[in-house]
Amino acid sequence: AQKVTQAQTEISVVEKEDVTLDCVYETRDTTYYLFWYKQPPSGELVFLIRRNSFDEQNEISGRYSWNFQKSTSSFNFTITASQVVDSAVYFCALTLYNQGGKLIFGQGTELSVKP
Amino acid sequence: DVKVTQSSRYLVKRTGEKVFLECVQDMDHENMFWYRQDPGLGLRLIYFSYDVKMKEKGDIPEGYSVSREKKERFSLILESASTNQTSMYLCASSPRGSGGFYNEQFFGPGTRLTVL
């Protein structure tokens, strides 16, 4: 069975600290996609990144970076120099090749960035 | 910008009532999805649709049905609402496009449903 685990339920940091959100996934399929979404207090999930299982290159987008390691089935997300506006719930999700786009979500990590 | 709208942000219903949650997207997306979000459980897929009049069960379809009569609209129906259906309901859409079913999904703001 497929599963996504975000072991950190809540994280609290002070502004300008770096923070890493962990995501571990389980699947026996070799073709899959991983996603990260942000859910701010307004409630609407915002897409951050998509990565396919054949592309293990790390990615950086401004203060955000993602580390994909198939060897440990992890797809971790790091925010550098965090800001108050980064406060949100972050979800990691998995979709498989033959599942019609069904997203399997982790439980979410609530990040609180304090000034 | 892609816009996914949901008919209500907050809804209060009584046990046994029939409840309709409406979702409309304005970007001509083929795929549409309904999720429920509960603390500690993340989002779980209820139903999805990849074309008009097509529907597929997700992970937790029991107690729900859906309707997709027009491409832009995907309705979630609670046939007889129960207290354990109190939750946040999120609708999403995605294009089929070159990414197939792996394109990112665009989400609506959610409907917080309370069943008393």
| A91 lies within 8 A of chain B by CB | yes
Q: Mean of the pLDDT values across residues A13-32?
A: 95
Chain B segment 62-81 residues within 8 A of A by beta carbon are none
The SS3 of residue B113 is strand
Chain A residues lying within 8 Å of B48, measured CB to CB: 100-102
Nearest to A33 among B50, B102, B110 (CB): B102
Check if the beta carbon of residue A82 is closer than 8 Å to that of residue A113.
yes
State pLDDT tens for residues B3-36: 999 989 999 999 999 999 999 999 899 899 999 9
Q: Mean of the pLDDT values across residues A4-8?
A: 95
pLDDT at A56: 83
Chain A segment 41-70 residues within 8 A of B by beta carbon are 42-47, 50, 52
Determine the length of chain A: 115
The SS3 of residue B25 is strand
pLDDT mean across residues, chain A: 92
